[in-house]
Amino acid sequence: MITKRFYDIHCHAFTLSHPCFLAFTQTLMRRGLEEVYAQMAAPNYLIAALFFKTGERMRNALSVLERDVGSIFSLMEDDLSGGFAKEGDGGALLSDGQLRLGGLGYTRLVLCPLVVDFQCAAFLPSEGTYYDSPSSKSVAVQTRDLLEGIRYYRRSRPRGFLEIRPFLGMDTRHHTAASLASFLERAFEGYARGGASSREAFDAMREFDESSPVPGRFAGIKVYPPLGFDPWPEGGREREKVELLWSFCESRDIPVVTHCDDQGFRVVGMEENWRLCSPEHWEGLLRAHPRLRLDFAHFGQRYFHPRGKPASRDWTDRIVRLMVGYPNVYADLAFNGCEGEYYEWLEGYLGGMSAGLAELVSRRLMFGSDFVANLTKIRSYSDYFRIFATSRLPDALKERLGHDNPESFLLGGGEEAGPMP
């Protein structure tokens, strides 16, 4: 049988021990009315899950987050196979070695779990906290847990349906220039386009730490501006370090994923979050590194908006302009597909473009789930896939989103870009 892969280019496999909840909750408390207004203006935000059906969504999410990483991978496969199906859900999406999404079929599901560098070492507990030293959230611990989870999944399910290609979390603020260079060289030693498949043996995995990451196991890099990471500082040492990072990724054609909506787990104020996440802030970077392979996650979705007015699409429109100007700029639809209405909007958005522009953009968009973060808005991993499978998008576009485009993003290729409009 010929192997045909469907890609979930944007998912997560973290546990409750990985995020820095202290920094997150203190951000809510310190910013007071700003955060209250943000919740009112953006009803899909994380906190809304606490109040949906007296916390049902949050309890459902916790039932996943309290598992170890390897068990989360098994749960995702079991869910698609109908292992958690309830009355009225319909047949399993995954059966007899086939993932069936409407009229399309696939023999393998590739997951790209993105590690987020949650380290907030400079974020001190508020006055009055008894244990008043900052908690340690080294990205090395999360990465080790992820790699061990992949090894557990492969050992427990040698014929499992999943291939797992992790992205390494990166925040240059936590490195010196020298340690960053060493870290990158080690992490991507022997790097090949696409990174390591979970079918490779992990038995020889050595102890992982910040100075000696496991080589050759990563498919790309994930950065997360809502935690304060600036992808293009004005100057100084931080600018030198991000220059080193982007030069390294561009020269080796290593894919990069950046968060690009105005929701999410953040520890900076709204104004700063908008500045750091906005595609406009990346334009200088792309002028300096025009071949950088970059995925703007969530396709620039905006949730914050004045009452009575729709959310702005300016970030989405700007990403499209960047796609026109740069050959390796992509976007994923992670989290957006929690509601079928989004795919209806997407079809109309592409339909409003010229034929040439719609063709280009349709070759740069990728399917993503944002599991397990999407459990704040949707019941299950399989529900997210069902919404995609039953959407009105043409099968040819679904094939591009789930197969053609992510395979190009991960494995190479790219189109020649035209001038910026």
Q: What is the mean pLDDT of residues 354-374?
A: 97
- pLDDT at position 202 is 45
Choosing among 3.40.190.10, 1.10.8.60, 3.20.20.140, 3.30.470.30, the CATH entry for 5-411 is 3.20.20.140
Edge-to-edge strands, sheet with 94-95: 94-95, 98-101, 104-106
- pLDDT at position 338 is 96
Residue 372, preceding peptide bond in cis (omega within 30° of 0): yes
- pLDDT at position 201 is 39
Q: What is the mean pLDDT of residues 188-215?
A: 59
Q: How far apart are CA 167 and CA 228, in angstroms?
A: 19
Q: Is the pLDDT of residue 45 over 90?
A: no
Q: Which of 39-43, 44-48, 133-137, 347-351 has the lowest mean pLDDT?
A: 39-43
Q: How confident is the model at residue 44 (pLDDT cuts 50, 70, 90)?
A: very low
DSSP letter string over 275-288? Answer: HHH-GGGGHHHHHH
> Counting Cβ atoms within 10 Å, is residue 312 exposed (0-12), middle (13-18) or buried (19+)?
middle
Contact 142, 214 (CB under 8 A): no
**More confident of the two residues 174 and 54:** 174
Tell me: the pLDDT tens digits for 234-288? 989 999 999 999 999 999 999 999 999 988 777 788 889 999 999 999 999 999 9
- pLDDT at position 31 is 58
Tell me: the pLDDT tens digits for 314-326? 999 999 999 999 9
Q: What is the mean pLDDT of residues 156-178?
A: 94
Q: How confident is the model at residue 331 (pLDDT cuts 50, 70, 90)?
A: very high
- pLDDT at position 23 is 63
Q: How far apart are CA 142 and CA 180, in angstroms?
A: 18
Which residues, other chains included, contact 42 with Cβ-Cβ below 8 Å and sequence gap of 6+? 262, 263, 303, 304, 305
Q: What is the mean pLDDT of residues 43-72?
A: 75
